[in-house]
Amino acid sequence: MTTMSGAQITINLLERQGVRIIPGIPGGANLPLYDALSQSTRIRHVLTRHEQGAGFVAQGMARITGRPQVFFATSGPGATNTLTAIADAKLDSVPCICITGQVPTALIGTDAFQEVDTYGLSIPITKHNFLVRSAVELFDIIPEAFRIAASGRPGPVLIDLPKDIQCELVEFDAWPEPAQPDPPPAFDPADIMRAAELINAARRPIFYLGGGVIQSEASPLVASLADKCSIPVTMTLMGLGAMPMDHPYAIGMLGMHAARYTNLALEECDLLIAAGARFDDRATGKAAEFCPAADIIHIDIDQAELDKIKTSHVGILGDVREVLEALLPLVQATRRQDWLKFISDLKARNPLRIPAGDNLRNPHELILHAASLLDDETIITSDVGQHQMWTAQMYPFRKPRQWLTSGGLGTMGFGLPAAIGAALACPDRRVVCFSGDGSLMMNIQELATAVDQNVNVKIILMNNNSLGLVHQQQCLFYGKRVFASRYERRVDFAKIAEGFGMKAFDLATSREPATTLAHALHHDGPCLIHAAIGGNENVFPMVPPGAANKTMIGGETRVHAVS
Ligand SMILES: Cc1ncc(C[n+]2csc(CCOP(=O)(O)OP(=O)(O)O)c2C)c(N)n1
């Protein structure tokens, strides 16, 4: 028989699940847990400066590894500070487990100091949540949290752990087995046959890939199917990297900021094969007018996604990789010469246009120039705004899990802590975070964490001294009434970084910005690369919010095309 406290049991169970790094912040209600963690020889704690930061560090680790990652916060404000990161994980299907301290059981419901109903608050933004009522329950709850977070469509799980339960002693004689994810649902072979028939009969098919393809590691199968059947492939923001951007069948990102030819190709397709994608409005535009001429095959591991936005002709509940594996031998090898020619002509007439040259004050050129200095092992994170969309449009993603961005929730402040998490999980890889001045200031305190951890993170700060994407919308759709989107005051980001102990480089004041950029990207340890960009740059093309994807504005008149 062994006797341990609830806190010690929790830490041991986390160790047994393979957890090696936990970001978080201590406080009164989780101090017993921290005390137990201090005795762990297997788990390293990363002290972030804000609980939202801890959530995004965990997300960075989870997005890059595909495995559930854990973060800690205390009760009350600690717990409420995690909510944005949890909601973000829910919308982007990221497996993570948030363990919050709670006031002692006897005080729950008394408005005790730092009491908040974390369980209630987190119900709509988690895949599942638990309020632990006795320490012995931990033997079930902790493995169950890992099983739920990782099974099927991944997502966040919250465990609220009252302080008295952390201290409660339990006698026990055996540990439970670490949890494994459930096997994916079995699909119906008849659906696969029907999907194969639709593909064989189609003249103008297009693959539409979402983040589920990356999660299920289905990229090689998509490439095989695309090759075998001449199927062009478009990706969502979350799906970028599922197929190399320079693959002959890749036609780039679809939707609000797609190249014109990509959205126009979708107008013409007669079969849409949606894989691990959820027909998000930023991808589809006005859903009723999305792919007007197409039958739809929809493959997804989440039953709730099938027929949610668009009714499919064949809906297949299953793991994308397994479904495509079954489909591959059933489709006929077909060279759809006319369709490929149609698309290459469309692309020649409606390419993604960018300015020519090497002016690092221009956002497109800055991103392309940085990309030319980086290899495919580099992990890219972004914040949210114009810089995110430019990066999605420009960066030559070639590998799954190379690109971490807040897609569903669109959370400013994601980029830096997610980059720290990615770097902690992959210490031998470089991580570059493209950020905007508005977004960086949302979690700027994590510069201190990056320095503490000496992570290989380079922040390229595209500073337009404004909330650029808001400014753009005001200019385009609100009669140029620019309001609350320009900052009055210029912030000296280099000084701030240096204040946190981080090396800073400034391309704006450098006489040779290209050399400075190359030097900075190879700097040892974290650094901030400040790049001033013009305040009136727009992300084009753009589909007005709520409009059909064919209603693109902008993007026709620039100087040369990206191949
Ligand atoms: C937490 C949060 N608050 C507000 C928004 C709304 N929003 C979307 S983009 C944006 C501007 C982003 O500015 P910045 O980070 O400087 O990037 P830029 O668009 O200038 O590249 C805002 C305010 C958001 N996405 N997230």
pLDDT tens figures, 227-281: 999 999 999 999 999 999 999 999 999 999 999 999 999 999 999 999 999 999 9
DSSP 181: P
Q: What percentage of the chain carries pLDDT values higher than 90? A: 97
Residue 32: Cβ-neighbour burial (10 angstroms; 0-12, 13-18, 19+): buried
- Measured from the Cα of 464, ligand 1's closest atom is 20
Rounded CA separation 302/130 (Å): 22
DSSP 100: E
pLDDT (mean) for 15-33: 98
Contact between 80 and 116 (Cβ < 8 Å): yes
Tell how far the Cα of 146 is from the centroid of ligand 1, in angstroms: 32
Contact between 196 and 298 (Cβ < 8 Å): no
Tell how far the Cα of 429 is from the centroid of ligand 1, in angstroms: 28
Pocket of ligand 1 (CB under 6 A): 383-387, 410-413, 436-439, 442, 462, 464, 466-470
Q: Which two tokens stand for residue 547?
A: 């409009």
Tell how far the Cα of 469 is from the centroid of ligand 1, in angstroms: 6
**Residue among 412, 465, 485, 533 to mutate when testing ligand 1 (max atoms within 8 A of CB):** 412
Q: What is the mean pLDDT of the chain?
A: 96
pLDDT classification of 189: cutoffs 50, 70, 90 = very high
Tell how far the Cα of 537 is from the centroid of ligand 1, in angstroms: 15
Tell how far the Cα of 473 is from the centroid of ligand 1, in angstroms: 12
Tell how far the Cα of 470 is from the centroid of ligand 1, in angstroms: 7
Residue 557 has pLDDT above 80, yes or no: no
Tell how far the Cα of 11 is from the centroid of ligand 1, in angstroms: 37
DSSP strand pairing (271-275 vs 205-209): parallel
Residue 426 has pLDDT above 50, yes or no: yes
Q: Which two tokens stand for residue 425?
A: 């999980």
Identify the three-state secondary structure at position 458.
strand
What kind and span of H or E run contains 379? strand 379-382
* Residue with CA nearest ligand 1 atom 13: 467
pLDDT (mean) for 524-551: 95
- Measured from the Cα of 435, ligand 1's closest atom is 15
Tell how far the Cα of 55 is from the centroid of ligand 1, in angstroms: 19
Identify the three-state secondary structure at position 271.
strand
Q: What is the pLDDT of residues 429-447, one digit of tens each?
A: 999 999 999 999 999 999 9
* Residue with CA nearest ligand 1 atom 9: 385
Q: Which two tokens stand for residue 245?
A: 């951007």
* Residue with CA nearest ligand 1 atom 4: 412
pLDDT classification of 357: cutoffs 50, 70, 90 = confident
- Measured from the Cα of 437, ligand 1's closest atom is 16
Does the pTM surpass 0.85? The reply is yes
Contact between 171 and 112 (Cβ < 8 Å): no
Tell how far the Cα of 184 is from the centroid of ligand 1, in angstroms: 37
109: left (phi over 0), alpha (psi -120 to 50) or beta: left
**Residue among 361, 439, 464, 533 to mutate when testing ligand 1 (max atoms within 8 A of CB):** 439
pLDDT at site 563: 37
* Residue with CA nearest ligand 1 atom 3: 412
